[in-house]
Amino acid sequence: MNYTSILWGAVLTGVGIFAYYIAYIVIVKGRLRGMNITRELYSAVGAFTAFIIMMSIITPLLSHLPSLVTPPSGGWVLEQYDTIASILSVVKIVSALILFPIEEYGTYSIISSAIDGIIGFLSGLTYLTVMVIALYKALLALFPFAPLFISLALARPNKPGSIVLMGIGLMTLVATPLIGWLSSLFYRITMGVVTALSPPCLDIKILGVVYYGPGPALVTTSQGVFMTNGTRYIPIWGCEGLQVSQVVWDWLVLNYTYTRLPPGFTIIPLYNGTLEILAHLPFPATAIENSSGVYGAWFPLRVLKYWRNGTGYMINDTVFFIRNESVLFWAWAGGVKANCSLAVNETGMVKTTLVSGPMVLPIFAPLTGSYPPSAPIGYRQMLINATAFNESCLVVFEPGSRWSGYTTLPATGPVKWALAGPLNLITGLNSQWSNVETAFTTVGVITVAVTLLGILLLPYLAIGTAYLGAIIVEFISPLWGVISQLLPF
């Protein structure tokens, strides 16, 4: 915006004020009342000259100050805040719906505090930005009147009211572009943070998950990862589809199919239906399992040889009995032992994978539950040929490391987004770091400058203007004498 023309319009008003003031001193006080006006005239003319000099200096200086930018939209900043705060709050509601029935109050309390923290930070930043923008808009309205305040102050420079008016006038001239610049900085900082925090959409849903297969399984979906052992509820973004990309059990990648069933009733529109997952190994393996978790699996693939009265059967989860048979086993176990001939070969028949829980900050990890170690420890995938001819044989499968897990709060969709909030906040602030530094340095410089101006400059203003006026009047008086001689009237 070009404010120079507006500024000079106001300068003319100031010139008018001085013209009236000087005319009043000369005509009313000097001529009509016959008073001694020397000192007052010196002051008035000095003030007028100081005003012109000051405005002449300030006007080109203004071009070196940041230009008067169009005020950023404070309403838009608040709108962004309200949107993010709403979505974060709905994540709290959805978390409560999931966690309260299973009496996970502590977990809810932690996620609630984390979300409140993000909202609190964003609220503070937004409020600061909006206040600076509002201040800038107010100063912008005041800006064209700044010369008027300066002229009023200079007209009677040695009075307390004048000092305040001078402060208002000068600060409006100098501070408006600076505050405008500052408001743009704060706007950029807030929008940077807001952009980093922005949710994919405004629609949050709860999806029921029904899992059929060996469990607990780690299900990886396009909206996040969770563990399930049957039925559970997960939060998802309504605007994004949900694809299951992997189902893992005991680090073994399962074959799976899945179906999205629409909600059977619409009384709770937050409910988005059911995801039914059917998963299985290529064969019906027996899990090496006890109450503390899963330790592997095995399966007799085929009877390779069969002699007379040959037999083979499972004794328990870890032991298989054979007699007069040669059996080929597949096993995912720590090892295998038998009191008969064994031929063990490593195999990759069933694909295994590294697993990981949801990617959240370490402080939030307990919220999401417990997950298995990323890689299996002490496991071998084996093809075992056990042969027991004319003898009884016990094939014992040794356990590997423990596979278990339990999802407290599924870190999927909106919860995943909310838990990444603090990290996104830091990312957003980092991307705007130079602006953050500049903004706070500017605030410091403005504070120091205002203090110094107030302490050092203003008390000398009155003396300065009086001396200046004396010089001008003493210079003009003889000049006027010469000119008046030339005039015919």
Partner 1 sequence: MSVLSLLNLPYGIGITIAGVELAWGLVKYYLAPTPSQRREAIDEFYSIVIGAILTATVAYYMSIGPSIGASIASALGVSITQVQLSDIQKVMYNDFNLVMGQYIANQVTTFAISAAGAILGAFNPGKVPFNTFEAISGALGSLAGFLNAIMAPYNRALIATMMNTIALAALGQVMSTMYNYGIGSLSIALLLPSRTRRIGAWLASFILVFSILLPMVAGYQDTLVFNYGNVFTMWVSTIEKHCSNNSIMQAILSLFLNAPSWLKDAINIMADFVCGITTLPWLISNTATLVSVGTFNLLEGDIIIDIVMGIGFAITAWLADLIEAGARALFEVRHL
Site of interaction with partner 1 (CB under 8 A): 28-29, 33, 35, 74-83, 85-90, 92-93, 95-97, 99-101, 103, 108, 112, 115-116, 119, 123, 126-127, 130-131, 133-135, 137-139, 141-142, 149, 152-153, 156, 159-162, 164-165, 168, 201-204, 238, 267-270
Among residues 400 and 414, whose Cβ is nearest to partner 1?
A: 414
Residue type, 437: E
Phi-psi region of 476 (alpha: psi -120 to 50; beta: other; left: phi over 0): alpha
CB of 96 to partner 1, least distance (A): 3
Instruction: Please state, in angstroms and rounded to a whole number, the distance separating the CA atoms of residues 275 and 209.
Output: 5
CB closer to partner 1, 75 vs 378: 75
Least gap, CB of 160 to partner 1 (angstroms)? 6
- Between 149 and 258, whose beta carbon lies closer to partner 1? 149
* Nearest CB to partner 1, comparing residues 174 and 388: 174
CB of 208 to partner 1, least distance (A): 11
Task: State whether the Cα torsion 200-206-212-215 is positive or negative.
Answer: positive
Q: Find the shortest distance in angstroms from Cβ 424 to partner 1.
A: 17
Q: How far is CA 397 from the centre of its chain?
A: 51
CB of 272 to partner 1, least distance (A): 12
Between 7 and 168, CB nearer to partner 1: 168
Q: How far is the CB of 209 from partner 1 (least distance, A)?
A: 14
Q: How far apart are CA 92 and CA 114, in angstroms?
A: 10
In angstroms, what is the minimal distance from the CB of 372 to partner 1? 26
Q: Which of 124, 378 has the CB closer to partner 1?
A: 124
Pick 183 or 432: Cβ nearer partner 1: 183
Amino acid found at 57:
I
| Amino acid type, 425 | L
